[in-house]
């Protein structure tokens, strides 16, 4: 995934790693989010839960492996509804002429795991999240 934002790499890194800010943008529009744990450091864990209007829960967890403030995060990602299907994710924050470029890679353990994640609505959730992230960055940066 590739997306440009009107912010600095440091500003994007902050809203991507501060649990109070992450809870405002990560996930689909129609789900509430609770950050249970978000310890952004090598070896630190995270867990968050999305809830729909009927009270159904969708929980995700992982471990942060490498952190370079303002530049990069490498972490694992696991949907608790499919335990054991862990993907590896890398996000980079690169300055551009007009702001910052977020580039993320997700590596799945199998084609079936990748296809299952896509079929679960991941694309809609990511699109919603990127729109909310854009709005939050505008609010946080005053742009």
Residue range(s) defining the domain that contains residue 71: 2-141
pLDDT given for residue 115 in this prediction: 82
Number of domain units in the chain: 1
Q: Are 59 and 34 in contact (CB under 8 A)?
A: no
pLDDT given for residue 125 in this prediction: 80
Tokens 């993320």 belong to residue: 104
CATH number at residue 130: 3.30.530.20
pLDDT one-digit tens code per residue, 41-91: 999 999 999 999 999 999 999 999 999 999 999 999 999 988 888 999 999
- Three-state SS string over 106-137 comes to EECCCHHHHHHHHHCCHHHHHHHHHHHHHHHH
pTM of the model: 0.91
CA–CA distance, 111 with 117 (Å, rounded to integer): 10
């Amino acid at each position: 995934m590739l997306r440009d934002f009107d912010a600095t790499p440091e500003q994007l890194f902050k809203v991507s790693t501060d649990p109070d800010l992450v809870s405002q943008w990560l996930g689909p529009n129609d789900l509430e989010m609770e950050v249970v744990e978000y310890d952004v450091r090598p070896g630190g864990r995270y867990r968050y839960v999305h809830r729909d209007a009927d009270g159904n829960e969708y929980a995700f967890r992982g471990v942060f492996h490498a952190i370079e403030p303002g530049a990069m995060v490498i972490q694992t990602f696991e949907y608790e509804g499919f335990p054991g299907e862990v993907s590896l994710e890398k996000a980079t924050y690169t300055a551009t002429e007009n702001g910052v470029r977020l580039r993320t890679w997700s590596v799945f353990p199998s084609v079936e795991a990748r296809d299952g994640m896509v079929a679960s609505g991941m694309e809609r959730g990511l699109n919603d999240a990127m729109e909310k992230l854009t709005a939050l960055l505008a609010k946080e940066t005053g742009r």
